[in-house]
Amino acid sequence: GSVSVFSAAISSNVKRIVHCSSMARYGEIKPPFKETDEPKPVDPYGIAKLASEKILINLCEVHDVEYNIAIPHNIIGPNQKYDDPFRNVMSIMLNRNLQGKPSMIYGDGTQTRCFSYVGDCVNCLERMGTDESINQEIINIGPDEEHITINQLAELCSNETGFNGKPIYFPQGRPQEVKHATCSSDKARLLLNYKTTTSLKQSVKKTADWIRRKGVKPFKYHLPLEIVNDKTPKTWKDKLI
């Protein structure tokens, strides 16, 4: 998909391509992840993201097209799909809590993450697309001040929704999941004037308010599982979410 978009853009004589990668590209290395670190992705998604970056760089160098690569932390906020049982952990928790159902957590919940409010990322993407002084850069974008465990995230969602039940834990974690994934945004602050204007607590509230306005939804298992074995989470196989 990425290669098709890159090829179409280049054949249309665009001046610059801004590509959104993922911090999954970094994989199992020591956090906080920095742009100078050697990526070691451990799951197909991260491997594909890193591969797409390399293809973009290759194509842009051959065709003399400018590029920048953004690496957002986990993006959250209104308009995010919240009835997908496989993605968007915060929206899944909020959608369940607002239905009076507990959050579901893989492993012990001590995994650490950073979450980016979508509004704080947009300005960075615009700057990466328009600032002529920023070219051929790979830049992490997102708050690096609020590292949070999944347990703490579940508590924030519970407090916002008024749901008092305890999370349900599944001892078996998700396969190939990185335990601690946080990034440094020093480069974004230097080049893009990045700053966090929406705290995680505010982000949770804004997302919950969005779901309240749209109405809670049942989760749609719209995609078939590619691999079903003893490593597949029970929540996916048995459609428990």
Residues contacting 66, CB < 8 A, separation 6+:
15, 16, 17, 60, 135, 136
Q: What's the pLDDT at 176?
A: 87
Structure tokens at 87: 């993605």
Amino acid at 141: I
Helices then strands, counting H and E runs in the chain, come out as 8, 10
Q: Where are the alpha helices (DSSP H) in 65-111?
A: 89-97
Q: Where are the alpha helices (DSSP H) in 2-42?
A: 2-11
Q: What's the pLDDT at 175?
A: 85
pLDDT at 227 over 90: no
Q: What's the pLDDT at 226?
A: 86
Q: What's the pLDDT at 35?
A: 98
Q: What is the pLDDT of residues 48-87, one digit of tens each?
A: 999 999 999 999 999 999 999 999 989 999 999 999 999 9
pTM of the prediction?
Answer: 0.93
Average pLDDT estimate for 111-140? 96
* Separation in Å, CA 145 to CA 19, 32, 150, 184: 24, 11, 16, 9
Structure tokens at 121: 């990322």
pLDDT at 221 over 90: yes
181-209 burial: b if 16+ Cβ within 10 Å, else e: bbbbbebbeebbebebebebeebbbbbbe
Helix or strand (DSSP H, E) at 205: helix 200-214
pLDDT at 108 over 90: yes
pLDDT at 172 over 90: no
Angle at 44 between CA 134 and CA 55, to 5 degrees: 40
pLDDT band at 24 (very low <50, low <70, confident <90, very high): very high
CB atoms within 10 A of CB 111: 21
**Cα–Cα distance for residue pair 122/73, rounded to 1 Å:** 13
CB atoms within 10 A of CB 70: 23
